C-alpha cells in the first residue's frame, strides 16, 4: 500500500513528486514510456522558466526536475497505466499485469496539441514548427510566420507573434471563423497580420529549419507556395483524460474538474494538476505551481486520515 501515486510527469507531475517526496510520502511517479517529461521534451530553448537566465533546453529542464524528485526519494518509473479503479479508499492502478494500490492519486497527464498530420510536422518541431507562441515567439524576431487556425487561440497567437515577427499570415480553411468578433477584429486591425482563407497547409518545407509551406485551396484544390520561417499550429488541444472517463467529473472544455483553486477532483483522494485541468494558460510554470497545490492537498488529505487505515478488498 502506497501513500501516493502520481500519474504523468512533466512540470506538474515532477513538481508534485518533489513536494510529496520532501514530505516523506515516498511517491511513485508513473511517467509513461512514451510521453515521459511532457511536451517540454520536444522543446528546444526554454527562456521563460524562472531560475535559468541563460535559457535551458526543454529535455534538460525535465531531466533536472526528475533528478530533483528522485533525490528526495520519489520512485520514477517509465511505465504506462492501462486502467484505473478510483472508487473507495483504496485506489488501484493497473500497469500491465501489475496492480499498484495507493491511498491517494495525483493525475498529471497533461494535454496533447492537435497536429496537422503532415509528414514533416514532427520532424521540424522545435525547428520552425511550434504549438505555443508564448513559448517560442521570441525566437522569431523579424521573421515571416504562419498561424494555422480560426479560433480565438489562433487570433491570440497571431497578435502575440506580431511583437516579434515582421509579418504573420493566418491560414484558415474557410471564410467562417470560430473566433469571437472582438478577437477577429483585433487581428484584422493589426497591420502585421494578413489572412489567407479557404486554404489549408498541406506540406511544410525545410531541411533543418522551416523554409515555407504549401497551401491548398479548399474550394478549387489549387496549390501555392508561401515562403515563411515558422509555422504556429493553433487548432486546439485535447486533455489526456482517456483513463478516467466516467470516473471523474469533467468540465465543458474536457479538462478534469477541480474544486475552486484546489486540486481536489470529484472523487475523494484523487487530485489533478497541470494542463489536464487548465484549458487556458498551459505554461510550464503554471503547471509546476499546480503540481505544488496537488502535492500539498494530497499531504493534507493523508494527514487528516492518518488514524484510518484503508483495507484492500482484494
* Segment (H or E) for 31: none
DSSP state letter for 169: E
Alpha carbons within 13 angstroms on the beta-carbon side of residue 309 total 3
Do 228 and 145 contact (CB within 8 A), yes or no?
yes
What are the residue numbers of the active site?
A: 132, 135-136
User: Which three cell numbers mark 157?
Assistant: 497567437
The alpha-helical segments, DSSP class H, found in the chain are 10-22, 58-71, 133-136, 152-161, 181-188, 284-304
Question: Distance (Å, rounded) from C-alpha 20 to C-alpha 107?
Answer: 14
What would you measure as the largest C-alpha separation in the chain, in angstroms? 71
What size, in residues, is the chain? 314
CB atoms near residue 180 (< 10 Å) = 12
Question: Distance (Å, rounded) from C-alpha 25 to C-alpha 2?
Answer: 8
Residue in the block written with cell 494558460: 281
User: Which three cell numbers mark 74?
Assistant: 520519489
Question: Distance (Å, rounded) from C-alpha 124 to C-alpha 122?
Answer: 5
Q: Phi-psi bin for 145: left (phi > 0), alpha (psi -120 to 50), beta?
A: beta
Q: How far is CA 118 from CA 115, 132, 205, in A?
A: 8, 18, 11
Q: Do the bridges between strand 83-85 and strand 91-95 make them parallel or antiparallel, or are there none, so unpaired?
A: antiparallel
Question: Distance (Å, rounded) from C-alpha 277 to C-alpha 262?
Answer: 11
Amino acid at each position: 500500500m502506497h501513500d501516493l501515486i502520481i500519474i504523468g510527469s512533466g512540470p506538474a507531475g515532477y513538481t508534485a513528486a518533489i513536494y510529496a517526496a520532501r514530505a516523506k510520502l515516498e511517491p511513485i511517479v508513473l511517467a509513461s514510456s512514451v510521453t515521459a517529461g511532457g511536451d517540454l521534451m520536444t522543446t528546444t530553448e526554454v527562456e521563460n522558466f524562472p531560475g535559468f537566465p541563460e535559457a535551458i533546453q526543454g529535455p534538460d529542464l525535465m531531466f533536472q526536475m526528475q533528478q530533483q524528485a528522485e533525490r528526495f526519494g520519489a520512485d520514477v518509473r517509465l511505465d504506462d497505466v492501462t486502467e484505473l479503479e478510483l472508487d473507495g479508499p483504496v485506489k488501484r492502478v493497473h500497469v500491465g499485469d501489475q496492480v499498484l494500490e495507493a491511498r491517494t492519486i495525483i493525475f498529471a497527464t497533461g494535454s496533447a496539441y492537435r497536429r496537422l498530420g503532415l509528414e514533416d510536422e514532427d520532424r521540424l518541431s522545435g525547428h520552425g514548427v511550434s504549438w505555443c507562441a508564448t513559448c517560442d515567439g521570441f525566437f522569431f524576431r523579424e521573421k515571416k510566420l504562419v498561424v494555422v487556425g480560426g479560433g480565438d487561440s489562433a487570433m491570440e497567437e497571431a497578435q502575440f507573434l506580431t511583437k516579434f515577427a515582421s509579418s504573420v499570415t493566418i491560414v484558415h480553411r474557410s471564410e467562417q471563423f470560430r473566433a469571437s468578433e472582438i478577437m477577429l477584429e483585433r487581428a484584422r486591425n493589426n497591420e502585421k497580420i494578413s489572412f489567407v482563407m479557404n486554404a489549408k497547409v498541406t506540406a511544410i518545407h525545410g531541411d533543418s529549419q522551416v523554409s515555407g509551406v504549401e497551401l491548398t485551396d479548399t474550394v478549387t484544390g489549387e496549390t501555392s507556395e508561401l515562403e515563411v520561417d515558422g509555422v504556429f499550429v493553433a487548432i486546439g488541444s485535447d486533455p489526456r483524460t482517456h483513463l478516467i472517463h466516467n470516473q471523474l467529473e469533467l468540465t465543458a472544455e474536457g479538462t478534469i474538474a477541480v474544486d475552486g483553486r484546489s486540486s481536489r477532483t470529484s472523487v475523494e483522494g484523487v487530485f489533478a494538476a497541470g494542463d489536464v485541468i487548465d484549458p487556458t494558460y498551459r505554461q510550464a510554470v503554471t503547471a509546476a505551481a499546480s503540481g505544488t497545490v496537488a502535492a500539498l492537498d494530497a499531504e493534507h488529505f493523508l494527514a487528516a486520515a492518518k488514524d484510518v487505515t484503508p483495507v484492500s478488498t482484494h
